[in-house]
């Protein structure tokens, strides 16, 4: 911890040792108080952040739903010029991205809540994976996935909806960063007392330096800058789930 020097004082060695011990105890108590204060401040900050995210996401959902409904409806009606169709397509895609971000914010706020508890039930991971694939909006995307499971798959205890949400983020990444039209394989394999899901796609690899950073908010690996931007929350949310 440090050194204590005494000069010009008639003090016995036992008394000096006791003084040094008391000084050390006082310093350690001060350090502990600082650590506790920082931890409490961080906890309050995290609670405030979660509350803000939850409120913001709820406020975004309604106008985004209106925008998406209007843009999708106009595209479905047709009769537009090529320029009008292109502009509406941009609006529809960006509104979809914002809607996904709002959903991620809501889910993150829910996970940060002290009241969140998973609803565990016996589920088959291959069924959850197929359900996540079936909910993809475009048929061409759904056809790209191939699920392979064991002959006799053992159920696991998990929150079906939360696992499906985590898989949905990974499926979106697989579609976004893989070669167009290439097959995306999903393997469900037993490993000791757990089931492992592996998603394999054909596309740019992730460097070692980026393997952890991709779980940071808004981080995108340099080699993916040319790909259409996502929300930057998918990997982080999947890990939390």
pTM above 0.75, yes or no: no
Question: Which domain does 85 fall in, by range?
Answer: 7-116
Q: What percent of the chain has pLDDT over 90?
A: 13
CATH code of the domain covering residue 149: 3.30.565.10
3-state SS, one letter per residue, for the chain? CCCCCCCCCCCCHHHHHHHHHHHHHHHHHHHHHHHHHHHHHHHHHHHHHHHHHHHHHHHHHHHHHHHHHHHHHHHHHCCCCHHHHHHHHHHHHHHHHHHHHHHHHHHHHHHHCCCCCCCCEEECHHHHHHHHHHCCCCHHHHHCEEEECCCCCCCEEECHHHHHHHHHHHHHHHHHHCCCCCCEEEEEEEECCEEEEEEECCCCCCCHHHCCHHHCCCCCCHHHCCCCCCCCCHHHHHHHC
CA distances from 112 to 52, 109, 115 (A): 12, 5, 9
User: 43-92 pLDDT, tens per residue?
Assistant: 777 667 666 766 776 777 778 888 888 888 888 888 888 888 888 888 88
Q: What percent of the chain has pLDDT over 70?
A: 85
Verify that 133 and 204 share a domain, yes or no.
yes
Verify that 125 and 236 share a domain, yes or no.
yes
Verify that 134 and 78 share a domain, yes or no.
no
Residue 2: inside a domain = no
Whether the pLDDT of residue 231 is over 70: the answer is no
Residue 220: inside a domain = yes
Domain boundary among 90, 116, 142: 116
pLDDT reported for residue 46? 67
Residue 1: inside a domain = no
Q: How many domains does the chain have?
A: 2
CATH code of the domain covering residue 26: 1.10.287
């Amino acid at each position: 911890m440090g050194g204590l020097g005494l000069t010009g004082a008639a003090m016995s060695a036992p008394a000096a040792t006791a003084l040094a011990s008391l000084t050390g105890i006082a310093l350690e108590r001060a350090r502990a108080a600082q650590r506790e204060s920082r931890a409490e401040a961080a906890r309050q900050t995290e609670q405030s952040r979660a509350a803000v995210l939850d409120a913001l996401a709820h406020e975004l959902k309604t106008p985004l739903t209106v925008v998406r409904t209007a843009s999708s409806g106009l595209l479905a009606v047709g009769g537009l010029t090529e320029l009008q169709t292109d502009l509406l397509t941009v609006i529809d895609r960006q509104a979809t991205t914002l809607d996904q971000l709002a959903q991620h914010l809501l889910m993150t706020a829910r996970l940060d809540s002290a009241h969140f508890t998973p609803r565990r039930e016996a589920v088959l991971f291959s069924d959850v994976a197929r359900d996540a694939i079936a909910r993809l909006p475009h048929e061409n995307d759904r056809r790209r996935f191939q699920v392979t499971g064991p002959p006799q798959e053992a159920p696991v205890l998990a929150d079906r909806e939360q696992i499906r949400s985590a898989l949905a983020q990974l499926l979106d990444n697989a579609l976004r960063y893989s070669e167009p039209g290439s097959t995306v394989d999903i393997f469900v394999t037993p490993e000791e007392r757990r089931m492992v899901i592996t998603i394999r796609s054909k596309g740019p690899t992730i460097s070692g330096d980026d393997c952890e950073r991709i779980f940071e908010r808004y981080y995108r690996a340099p080699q993916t800058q040319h790909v259409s931007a996502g929300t930057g929350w998918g990997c982080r949310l999947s890990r939390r789930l």
